[in-house]
Amino acid sequence: MSIQSGQFLYPNVTSLPGQQGVGEGRINKQDQAVKGEFDQILDKASSLPKADGKDLGQVRAPLKFSAHATQRLNERKIQLDQATMAKVNEAVDKAAAKGLEDTLILTPNSALIVNVGNRTVITAMDRGQLQGNVFTNIDGAVVI
């Protein structure tokens, strides 16, 4: 038998030796004692206490500032108060929920480029310096 280019040979496999029907091989409550180490650790982690009413898995990491961003904030005399920082954190959460990686966050007084994955502010500009600037290497923006 020869196979010509563009033709594929698909085996006719309906079941494997020793395989049970679909869904029958799943662990039920009686078989929980047979769970592996990973499953046991996962069960313990899911029953951990909550922090501030949130699951520990949902507690977000604090926002960090790169050395470059810190330098820009100081040079440009940009100050971010606690209320603004809370809004920036919410904006980063929204960007993460949309699957963004690097985003522009516009506050009333500044513009921040944030790497969403590691929650790090990469650079900062005063809102007055935005006129005529082009932002590259971002995949989204959040206005707060």
Q: What is the pLDDT of residues 119-132, one digit of tens each?
A: 999 999 998 888 88
pTM of the shown model: 0.59
Q: What digits encode the pLDDT tens for the residues 15-55?
A: 555 555 554 455 555 555 566 777 767 666 665 555 444 44
Task: Please report how many Cα atoms fall inside a 13 Å half-sphere around the Cα of residue 126, on the Cβ side.
Answer: 9
Q: Would you kindly state where each structural domain of the chain is located, as residue ranges? A: 29-58, 64-143
What is d(CA 78, CA 91) in angstroms, rounded to the nearest whole number?
18
